[in-house]
A and B are shown apart, each in its own frame.
Chain A
């Protein structure tokens, strides 16, 4: 492997494995008074944190790299895994490096977790970010502008300064660059997935949860440039879209297993919040208005957002078509209400279009992949052997 790409991947892998958030502590130690704000999946307006000079830190649970000692005592067995590992991270002091937490409104679990945080850690900054489900600019837009303004004020207060309009416009520009390069990476992978193995793409993306966006953009750009020059040859595999993984993340080994089972992953909803907007947020004019409008009109389609047009599944069919995928793998965390309640609607949409699909569930600490490998392998084989194309 090219030493330069190896260096990038080594850095990304280190960040992925680091459940002590050392990189965040290092970033804070580089200058006095630096602060970091954690956020849960899927979407929060990271621009507001960045504009205050603070570091947004994505908290995606402990994955398969954290032993749960106290977290299980706070949740019944029928609740998904991410809240228990997140509580474990906090109770073990690993999140002491954070100066506040944002909990967006994606499901009842993350919502109630915000209240648990308030009770467990009195004195720490906690905010529930209520994303609008009404997309009328005069109604949901007005509500969201108000929420954004309140978060802006909170972030400024926590940082001990002001967030100027220029600061905010600058942050929007920086995050536009970040989302743009991620979109480029997804496009490149869709065209030549053999050059961008899922383990590499995921680790590089995941680094965006803890790195400052400027640094992450550079990392993704360099990876993209180098990986595109790779010498791997195309193999006869099925091209699949993965869906259901927008919140609790699967263990990396599961993603690798899917590839080894004969699938090229050409699109997915992993780490969706890092590429939430489908286009650019305007960089001039009223920054709050621009962020609000972008949320109303440019958000990705996902289970936690209401679809006023009733076209549940259209986005998935589009993703299949645009990425020339052969099929879809529904890969959702156990007990994930948004993903699992959504699934029958997505299945119906795929079946109307005669798109093959299969499904299984995981937990972020799943350690056995034999069954998944067999299922994904059979799915991939069946597509290659029996598809009309």
Chain B
């Protein structure tokens, strides 16, 4: 039951896709030229990233998670992981880390084939993931460069308290900004930062509009598989830039048009025609078999209308915006509010809201071996969500970038069985 769900003849690159490809290509090229142009680069993480702050010093961010996932999508990660394990890294730990270390040990050629520069600083934005801390301690030994540590308190009860903000702002003032000044040779310019934050907020408005477009039926977007493309610029190097603003403006226009025409999301095989199941997904995707994984959904007519993964770089759809009038506090609140920095009860609350607000037929948890921050507690989340919403949940297991942990037959079987169960319940008129 697959062919009729996607209309292959409509395969085409939309303008936003072309724009994004160009943005990312230019970005990696600029990293490749950084040394000859005398530009300084700073490695940092996606959750709680301080892109505008870095850009305000004319520093270029490098994001090891993005390098790892790009390596996964381009089938490079298996060799990198093998290289890291050969060097003594345990098979039990995060494969993003091992992919990054393996890439470094293999010559540090980035996913687009451009050799990446060594970072001048490691900005350890310790937000929602313990592994980040060890990751950059490992990298520090390799690069022998300074580290700026930003400890972002965990929101166990899901609320940002004033003293959390004070703690993060204090660290920005005493630890992060002085090191950025040192590396860049420039003084901190708060006005410049504010200008960038204004651009961020502008892009964030359009980004939220895009995410919420999935409330339409049919949904014009896939908020998980398509969503990972939509989050690209705003979660990484393009927040606070005019290119980022332009990307989301174009994307919004395209989706407006899709809604007007009653079209579904664009998949790698064309426009999705028939939407039989509206799903919410918790957890990151698998990158090594990303298209194959997505196809398992769209072949069955399953569209993802909301996902938690698209919130790891900020909960904009719950109202957060970068605020140019209170720049450092706003950055602190951004770091604190990222999805994986929320306690489990708050995560369950959020997913429950998504299931209700997006009128989902079901929800699927993709539990990845690499990420304890996401994965620990997901089996309880499954039960809690089923109890609270009456909507049945599915559970699959894979990994981020280690292809050994993506078992296509098993995963496909589970997804199909799960969707058949939804179908049967629907046929029987059962909602709970």
Pair B174/A138 contact, Cβ less than 8 Å = yes
Complex Cα spacing A97 to B357, Å: 41
Interface stretch, picked from A4-12, A306-314, A377-385, is: A306-314
Q: How far is the CA of A38 from the CA of B379 in the complex (A)?
A: 24
Judged by a CB distance under 8 angstroms, whether B348 is at the interface is yes
Q: A187 contacts the other chain (Cβ, under 8 Å)?
A: no
Q: Which residues of A contact B126 (CB under 8 A)?
A: 133, 306
Q: Does B343 contact A (CB under 8 A)?
A: yes
* Cα separation A127 to B156 with both chains bound (whole Å): 8
Size category, A interface: 35 or more
Q: Which of A119, A146, A308 has the most CB of B within 10 A?
A: A119
Contact status B171-A108, CB under 8 Å: no
Given known pairs A76-B375, A134-B175, the reply for A341 and B156 (CB within 8 Å) is no
> B163 to chain A: which residues have CB within 8 Å?
143, 146
Q: Which residues of B contact A347 (CB under 8 A)?
A: 88
Tell yes or no: B138 within 8 A of A by CB.
Answer: yes
CB <8 Å contact, A312 and B344:
no
Complex CA–CA separation, A280 to B138 (angstroms): 32
Assess the B345–A115 pair: CB atoms within 8 A.
yes
The answer to whether the Cβ of B182 comes within 8 Å of any Cβ in the partner chain is no
Interface residue stretch chosen among B19-27, B198-206, B248-256, B365-373: B365-373
**Residue on A with the closest CB to B133?**
A306
User: A142 within 8 Å of B by Cβ?
Assistant: yes
- Indicate whether B74 reaches chain A with its CB closer than 8 angstroms: no
A109: chain B residues at CB < 8 Å are: 372, 376
Q: Which of B134, B171, B380 contacts A134 (CB 8 A)?
A: B171
B154 touches A105 (CB 8 A): yes
B167 within 8 A of A: yes
Q: Which of A194-202, A269-277, A331-339, A365-373 makes up part of the contact surface?
A: A331-339
B149 contacts A134, CB within 8 Å? yes
B151:A133 contact, CB within 8 angstroms = yes
Q: A78-B92, A114-B343, A119-B380 are in contact. Are A341 and B97 (CB under 8 A)?
A: yes
Complex interface bits, A120-146 against B, C-beta within 8 A gives 1, otherwise 0: 100000011010111010111011001
B residues contacting the other copy or chain, number (CB 8 A): 50
For B343, the chain A residues whose CB sits under 8 A away are 114-115, 118, 128
Q: Are A108 and B345 in contact (CB under 8 A)?
A: no
Residue-wise, chain A 74-99 has the 8 Å CB interface mask toward B (1 for contact) of: 11101100010000000000000000
A344 B88 Cβ-Cβ under 8 A: yes
| Residues 105-162 of B contacting A (Cβ, < 8 Å) | 124, 126, 129-131, 133-135, 137-138, 140-141, 147, 149, 151, 153-154, 156
- A343 and B376 contact, Cβ closer than 8 Å, known pairs A128-B154, A303-B134: no
* Chain A residues closer than 8 Å to B138, beta-carbon distance: 341, 344-345
Looking at the complex, which one of A114, A139, A303 makes contact with B175 (CB distance below 8 Å)? A139
Return the chain B residue nearest A114 by Cβ: B156
A119 touches B156 (CB 8 A): no
B421 touches A (CB below 8 Å): no
A-B contact sample (15 more), CB < 8 A, given A112-B373, A341-B93, A341-B135: A75-B376, A76-B397, A78-B92, A107-B372, A118-B343, A118-B345, A139-B167, A139-B171, A143-B153, A143-B163, A308-B149, A310-B141, A335-B92, A337-B134, A341-B138
